[in-house]
Homo-oligomer: A and B are copies of this chain.
Amino acid sequence: MTSTTPGPSSRPDLRVGMVGYAFMGAAHSQAWRSAPRFFDLPMNPRMQVLGGRDAARVADAAQRLGWASTETDWRRLVERDDVDLVDICTPGDSHCEIAITALEAGKHVLCEKPLANTVAEAEDMVRAAEAAATRGVHSMVGFTYRRVPAIALARQLVAEGRLGEIRHVRAQYLQDWIADPQAPLSWRLEREKAGSGALGDIGAHIIDLAQHITGDRITEVSGQLDTFVKERPIAADHSGLSGTAGESQEMGRVTVDDAASFLARFTGGAAGVFEATRFATGRKNAIRLELNGSRGSLAFDFEDMNVLEFFDAEEDDETAGFRRILATEPTHPYVGAWWPPGHGLGYEHGFTHQVVDLVHDLAGGRPPAPSFADGLQVQRVLAAVETSSDTRSWQQVPA
């Protein structure tokens, strides 16, 4: 019997307009495409329109990434009747304006982290998000690492009390992509575009993860920022993450931090030690988290992302030890939708899980998490670290 596969008739569409199509745009596209193939979603995401300034490039990206149409002006994209949700994948300096315009136009918003480049902008966004929420329009900030199964499992174990009282939080985000002084300038090294450097780009992730997993907030910090290489060659093509300097000998100033480290205090009393750097030679994307509690400990490293290490202090001494939990069992968060045990997931799956959670929340009328308010709070921690680095003393994080 030959049949044509019918469309998913019973579910409402969720028509997505995405702005930006570089690294994050590619990851989000794969997520919108894959989520309904593996998860039973209450809405049917449609990759409706892709926004970008350069007509030729955005057209090319739309074809490659699978978007049905394009807009060269994000304001047009935001206004379109056939768009229900705006997915913001641009550099941080444009998040505030796009997000607020979209929310006011009645569109749900998924906004990449960091929420904004300044606390003031983030505060404006939170106000807009809260106003929109009263009209059933929702927003979410994209801290996708929360949705790595091993990390979601970590959150779960802490929430179940398996760690007891948390005393230590150790968090590092280590990369090395500009350890070479000849690596060219990019927008990520310019304060106007990126807001900050390692601190905001990757430090934001470990701040969010540490707070999310512990269920606690950071109340004060003492930090230091470093810019080890103060001038870099200007790349011919100055738009992307990567690129080589080519023949250009022109140098430009690096206006953000190369590395940030800070001590922190959590509401629950835990002592935190954080470090984010792009100069950890040999570490490519090492998000390392360790928690020590009165009943147990956890350790995670994104370079082995399907594994969570867990020490249960209630085991007897003879056989106690850090367990290498391969977080690929059907009982682990998100995993049942994928492959049999031991068949690991990759980086992009976190984005797919983000779409899954977001769609469920939108369909259920629930405010998604992390909210813009959560994003603002991370922003306040980042700002406190910067102030602390300037004043050379501890700095409170406003509640």
Contact = CB atoms under 8 A, between A and B. Distances in A.
Interface string A347-385: 111000000000000000000000000000000000000
A179 B343 contact: no
Interface in A1-49: 1-6, 8, 23, 26-27, 29-30, 33-34, 37-38
A277 B305 contact: no
Nearest to A337: B26
A321 interface: yes
8 contacts: A5-B69, A6-B63, A30-B37, A177-B341, A179-B313, A273-B275, A282-B297, A284-B329
Contact of A293 (B30, B37, B71, B281): B281
Contacts of A224: 222, 263, 265, 271
A2 B49 CA distance: 9
A162 B322 CA distance: 18
A189 to B, nearest CB: 15
Contact of A392 (B4, B343, B394): B394
A153 interface: yes
A262 interface: yes
Nearest to A220: B392
Nearest to A49: B2
The contact size tier of chain A is 35 or more
Given A167-B179, A281-B295, A283-B342, 14 more contacts: A1-B55, A4-B69, A30-B34, A33-B33, A224-B263, A261-B271, A303-B344, A315-B323, A321-B326, A322-B324, A343-B346, A343-B347, A345-B346, A392-B394
A65 interface: yes
A242 B349 CA distance: 23
A175 B342 contact: yes
A334 interface: no
Contact of A282 (B275, B279, B280, B292): B292
A170 B172 contact: yes
B343 A259 contact: no
A170 B171 CA distance: 12
Interface string A163-178: 0000110101011110
A34 B324 CA distance: 31
A151 to B, nearest CB: 14
A69 B2 contact: yes
A379 B286 CA distance: 33
Interface in A288-323: 290, 292-297, 302-313, 315-323
A224 B266 CA distance: 13
B347 A331 contact: no
A70 interface: yes
B170 A275 contact: yes
A139 interface: no
A292 to B, nearest CB: 5
Nearest to A27: B339
A340 B332 CA distance: 27
A140 B328 CA distance: 30
A116 B181 CA distance: 43
A324 to B, nearest CB: 5
